Structure 1
Amino acid sequence: DKPLLADYAVWGAITAYTKSHSLLANLKDLEKFTAWMNRMDQRQECKDAIERVDKALKDAQETIAAEAAALAAEKAKLGSVVEVPTIEGSDPETDPLDAFKNVLAAQLSTLIDVDIKILYDALEAPRASENGHIALSVPRLRLKGAPAAIAADIVAKFQLNDYVLSTKADGPFVNFFLNHIKLADSLFHKIYDTKEKWGCNQSGGNKKVIVEFSSPNIAKPFHAGHLRSTIIGSFVRNILQANGYDTLSMNYLGDWGKQYGLLAVGFERYGSEEKLLEDPIKHLFDVYVRINADAKENEAVHDEARAYFKKMEEGDEAALKIWSRFRDLSIVKYKDIYARLNIAFDVYSGESQVTDGMDRALKMLHEKNLLTESDGALIIDLTKYKLGICVVQKKDGTTLYITRDIGAALERYEKFGFEHMYYIVASQQDLHLKQLFKILELLGFDWAKKVTHLNFGMVGGMSTRKGTVVFLEDILEETRDAMHEVMKKNEHKYAQIEEPLEVADNIGISAIMIQDASARRIKNYDFDWKRMFSFEGDTGPYLQYAHARLCSIERKTEMEVNPKADLRHLGDSRAAGDLITMIARYPQIVRETIRSFEPVNIVGYAMKLSHNVSQALESMYVMGAEKEVAEARLFMYWSARITLGNAMRLLNLKPQERM
């Protein structure tokens, strides 16, 4: 009976019965029967395995169904999921916060009749964190009707989604509270993948840009004005690089002119080979001061200087050899100072190196009939442009700054074909640069519109605390020593620092740079020694302390940053949301700063980020927390450290890991 024989248990009974009743006639039949039974055993094992797989599959399906139901329920609470659209000017690939702004703009465009790009541009950071993470400024939409009423209507119609958890009307603003866990997930992984490149973009398209800055005069002190040009110029170069431009930083030294004739005459009288090799800048300055004093008493000294410089312009080998030595020794010393400031140049140029361009420029000025003779000198009359009279050649045939600057600009464009060139020079030179640009325009150069003067105000009170004259190196020495004394007050931390003098030097330089960068570029400001050394308030030492504190968290936990950390363990605390959103704003700050080239924008951002870190650390500790919670928080603080360090490097600071 087939149904009966199909039951394995029945076959077992048959086997036992046949054995006991000798139903198998011989051994051969028994062997066949045993082989057949073995096959039946294998079939049963397969059947058992299939049943186990079926059960596991069923369990998995039930689990998936349960998770899907939970996810569906969560999505039902949040609203519909919105795909990220593409909007001109946004960069969601490098800026995770832009993805949220794009979603918001797209959804808002379905509620009000406004172009999506205008909506995107109207989304901004709220003035206070309690007002949400992104705010829509209704007045910027230029709609008819009361902005407050429009804001309330938008809130009433807005459908929540997995990007936006809640909305709130606040007068003419609509405040959006984001899903900061979703933001953190894309944000932290973007930072983990890009690290030191986090915040950068390629909007510049690798176009060539020249930034001329610092440009001290040989034989004169590297003073506060040069320091401002150096700090601002290096920042301009850095922010251009961060926005995808191919930059060339140029130090255009003041290394030509009658003053070098004066210096050569002075060195013949007062020079010392030993002092020159020891500190060329200071010794040449001392010589220059002494010979200037002589010149005030004796006009013949000026005649000697003019004659010497004329020999230089005529190519006299002996005169040029002495000048070249002064120049080369000074550049070596300058490079040491720049290295200490964490600043480097791609090119060291100078007025002396543009003779060919200068000669061609004079020839072109003649051909364009732009030159007029006046008392034996050659001038360009720019009075109809309200730029006065510009002398380009003295009556003795020697040239001036403007002549050499015209030649330099001509040679730079021919050599580098720049998309833009920036001159980082004090506002005292506004007229000079306006004259230069107008002359380039009158010469018919199309690229004249590609040159820009980024000016800045002056620094007051930047002498040593003893009131002595202003050599930058003296300022750096004094700040280092003062900061070293502050550090030694904490004996425990001081003992853990491997190179305390180097750290003190870096913190002191940070103090100088942040005090300078905290002022608007065009504003004059007074150098404040007392404020500079403070670890409280918005100072350089405070920024360094914030970075070192984040490094200390990573050291003390002895945990590796886990990019697979479950960020849901960050919870819904406001401190976490504020810190995550502040980290996310960094790429936008980098993009926006290129419009103004204001270092204070990055300084302000770095300070706010440091404050957010401090607030989060009050309640969201890593040490002692459960593993999953600790991993999520460590990933957040690590991302904050990378962001803060990148912002500090834009400002030419060396982020400290211990202090």
Structure 2
Amino acid sequence: MASFFRRTIAAKLARTLQQPEEAFLPALSALPVSKRQQAADFRLSISALRTGGVLPSGGDTQAQTDGLASQLTPDTVLEAITAGGGWINFKINRKLLVQKMLEPFGNGEDERFGLNSDLLNALKRGTVLVEYSSPNIAKKFHAGHLRSTIIGNFIGNLKQSLGNSVIRMNYLGDWGMQFGLLGAGFAQFGCQEKLKRNALQHLFEVYVQANQEAERSEDMKQAAREFFRQLEQHEREALSLWKQFRDISVDEYQRVYKRLGVHFDVYSGESFHRDEAQEVVQQLRSRGLLETTEHGTSVVDLSPAGDARSVCVVLRSDGTSLYITRDLAAALHRSGKYSFDEMIYVTDKNQTSHFRQLFQMLLAMGHSWADRCKHVPFGLVRGMKTRSGEVLFLDDVLDEARSRMLHNMSQSKTTRQMDNIQDTAEKVGISALIVQDFKGPLLSDYTFDWDRMLQAQGDTGVFLQYSHARLCSLIQKNGGLESSAFDPSLLLEQTSIGILQHFLRYDEVLHQSAQDLQPKHLVNFLLKLSHLIASAHKELPVKGSAPDVAQARLKLFSGACSVLANGMRILGITPLEKM
């Protein structure tokens, strides 16, 4: 409903300046909630109008601001229009604000709140392929893979909520020289029984032993090279063992992803493109992009004209492919199969150079769609350890989060009345993990802190879940009061208005998140909403109020509950009704 007010203001401006309404929409924004009673709801940036060519770029900004403001008069929708500091401020009629902002709730539109917006409708929609998580089989599932998993899931959820067709892909590290080491190592140290009992743990142990042996023994290095050569040559026995490792790993990953509430539409991997990688090399050669070095490796020169030479190796001297060669093949395959409008890779910032080279090579090969490919980098996590030591697998993190949350919940009297304490503790623990990770810029490194993450007070995932569960409890206890009809004049206290003013920013927050793919905007919006709700619980009691007042307040709390739940789901958090 923010769109109704934004469009009304734009129409008023359009009539005054004889310009199309669309020219004003990007320059309008909802103000952050203020404690001041007379605070405006929207503001218009004169600077943005000048940049957009609506107003002349020369001249005095303040004079332009005052001049335009003087031509605008309040009406039944806008009860006050003021100017200052290069901004024109608009205050909406309070009763109309309440009525319009709460209109969608209880009419089957709860989950679509804020999404039918001029701002969001202006965004391009299409097919978006998101590649995320992408663990390496037989190696530890470290904190970076956890970050990639939850960030990629957020991007997929966001793009889907905005009307895109989303393909979620897990591109496994299931090929390359490490499988030579694993295959050769399994022949010496492997055990099928241990593989059945704890597949990922055993494969990891074998891989570590094989690495240690390769440092001491040339025989192990040679055996590893020979096993990988057999894989590249499609020899049956080597492929059979590799397939076993891959299948049991994927089964294990799917079980863990289910705990996180994450799913993938496609499980792909480097192995799918091992043959296509050789075709890519031929394409590079036919375009005159491939050079052979004195060491026998095949490289592509990516240095801009006149700059120092910068080359990317795409083929080893023995003719075997590399990670980037297979990534080139994968990108070409996906473009042909999915005809995507956008492809997003979610990996840590150490791979920034890799993706820059990948996109450069695709463009050099004549694929203009490479401009629609994007890398979303993220920083490193320091200090992610469980009580038993360093984290090896994602299971360890989730188990620890659940265990610590169970301990915290056991201190609460209400927890003992719950039927599904384990499941609740797991979901709250995951919420805490996600919010801690998403609060800041993705590119920043951060230090993992179990205690701070799991606090019930403060800006945490636990606080978000508590806020939602408390609203659900309030709605459940007052079920008989729910009605689509209510009196807007009974919600004119600043506490109520503050929540509704905050609602005005929801589509802007989603728009900002869609522009830079950063979850922090939505996290901070939901945390602020939770604080506003906490104040409203104290100042706007439902119990003991007159029936019509209680009904109006319940309408407000129901709306807040819906917005909170919608935002949490986009972040990848399952909203709990009890905790």
TM over 0.5: yes
Please say if 1:162 is aligned against 2:83: no
Selected match of 1:193 from 108, 122, 132: 108
1:459 correspondence with 2:418: no
Q: Distance in 1 between matches of 2:198 and 2:103?
A: 50
Instruction: Describe how 1:521-532 pairs up with structure 2 within 5 A.
Output: 521-532=442-453
User: Normalising by structure 2, what TM-score?
Assistant: 0.92
How far apart are residue 158 of structure 1 and its match? 3.4
Calculate the aligned-residue CA RMSD, in Å: 2.1
| 1:108 and 2:13 are equivalent in the alignment | yes
Runs of 5+ unmatched residues, structure 1:
1-95
- Residue 425 of structure 1 aligns to a residue whose secondary structure is strand
Aligned to 1:26: none
* Candidates 362, 367, 387, aligned match of 1:440: 362
Does 2:137 match 1:137? Answer: no
Equivalent-residue separation in structure 1 for 2:558 and 2:24 (angstroms) = 33
Q: Which amino acid aligns with 1:403?
A: T
Mapped partners of 1:629, 1:467: distance in 2: 55
One-letter amino acid of the structure 2 residue matched with residue 348 of structure 1 = Y
Rounded to whole Å, the distance in 2 between the matches of 1:458 and 1:617 is 39
Q: Report the CA distance between 1:277 and its aligned residue.
A: 1.8
Aligned residues of 1:102 and 1:120 also touching (Cα < 8 A): yes
**Residue 548 (str. 1) matches residue 481 (str. 2):** no
Secondary structure at the aligned position of 1:582 is classed as helix
Aligned to 1:69: none
CA distance in structure 1 between the aligned counterparts of 2:84 and 2:515, rounded to whole angstroms: 29
Greater mean deviation of Cα atoms: 586-595 or 110-119:
110-119
Distance 2:502 2:309 in 1: 46
Whether the aligned pair in 1 keeps the contact of 2:401 and 2:429 (CA below 8 Å) is yes
Q: Deviations over 1:176-223 (max 9, x none)?
A: 221243233233232433222333356567521111111010011111
- Deviation, 1:448, is 1.9
Give the conservation status (yes or no) of the 8 Å contact 2:33–2:501: no
| Aligned-partner SS, 1:559 | helix
Residue 246 of structure 2 corresponds to 327
Equivalent residue number for residue 406 of structure 2: 484
Distance apart, 1:254 and its partner CA: 0.2
Aligned-pair distance for 1:110? 4.7
Distance 2:532 2:79 in 1: 22
Shift of residue 107, structure 1, vs aligned partner: 2.1
| Alpha carbons of structure 1 residues 150 and 376: separation in structure 2 relative to 1, 3 Å | closer
Per-residue deviation, 1:497: 1.8
Counterpart secondary structure, 2:366: coil
Match of residue 500, structure 1, among 394, 408, 421: 421
CA contact under 8 A between 1:341 and 1:509: conserved in structure 2? yes
Secondary structure in structure 1 of the residue aligned to 2:102: helix
- Which residue identity does 1:553 align to in structure 2? L
Give the alignment of 1:63-78 within 5 angstroms: none
- In structure 2, the CA distance between the partners of 1:207 and 1:156, relative to structure 1 (3 Å rule), is closer
Structure-1 separation of matches of 2:16 and 2:301: 60
Are 1:403 and 2:317 an aligned pair? no
Report the Cα distance in structure 1 between the residues aligned to 2:423 and 2:218, rounded to whole angstroms: 48
Aligned with 2:103: secondary structure? helix
2:269 is aligned to 350
Q: Structure 2: which amino acid aligns with 1:104?
A: I
Change (3 A) 1:137 1:445: closer
- 1:29-40 aligned at under 5 Å gives the runs none
TM-score by length of 1: 0.81
Question: Is 1:382 the counterpart of 2:302 in the alignment?
Answer: yes
Match of 2:194 among 271, 275, 278: 275
**Secondary structure of 2:80's partner?**
strand
Cα-to-partner distance string for 1:583-637 (whole Å, 9 max, x where unaligned): 2322232223211000101101111111221222221111121211111111111
CA–CA distance in 2 between the matches of 1:288 and 1:498?
Answer: 42
Query: Which deviates further from its counterpart, 401-410 or 560-569?
Result: 560-569
How do 1:62-461 and structure 2 match up within 5 A? 96-111=1-16, 116-129=21-34, 130=36, 131-142=39-50, 146-148=60-62, 150-151=64-65, 157-191=71-105, 192-201=107-116, 207-374=126-293, 375-384=295-304, 388-461=310-383
Preserved CA contact (<8 Å) 1:390 1:435: yes
1:569 partner amino acid? L
Tell me the percent identity: 37
Residue 354 of structure 1 aligns to a residue in which SS?
helix
Q: 1:289 Cα deviation (Å)?
A: 0.9
Q: Determine helix, strand or coil for the equivalent of 1:384.
A: coil
Deviation string for 1:216-252 (max 9, x for gaps)?
A: 1001111111111111111111111111110101000
Q: Tell me what 2:487 maps to.
A: 566
Which stretch shows the higher mean deviation, 598-607 or 193-202?
A: 193-202
Pick aligned residue for 2:435 from 502, 509, 514 = 514
Question: Are the equivalent residues in 2 in contact too, given 1:114–1:141 (CA < 8 A)?
Answer: no
Unpaired runs of 5+ residues, structure 2, are none
Quote the offset at 1:113 in angstroms: 7.4
Aligned equivalents of 1:303 and 1:204: distance in 2? Answer: 54
Q: Which segment is superposed worse, 111-120 or 597-606?
A: 111-120
Match of 2:573 in 1: 653
Structure 2 SS opposite 1:193: coil
Q: How many matched pairs?
A: 562
Q: Secondary structure at the match of 1:455?
A: strand
**Cα displacement (A) at 1:401:** 0.3
Contact 1:242 1:590 in 2 (8 A): no
Moved over 4 A (4+): 109-116, 143-157, 201-206
User: After alignment, is 159-168 or 406-415 more displaced?
Assistant: 159-168
Counterpart amino acid of 1:484? L
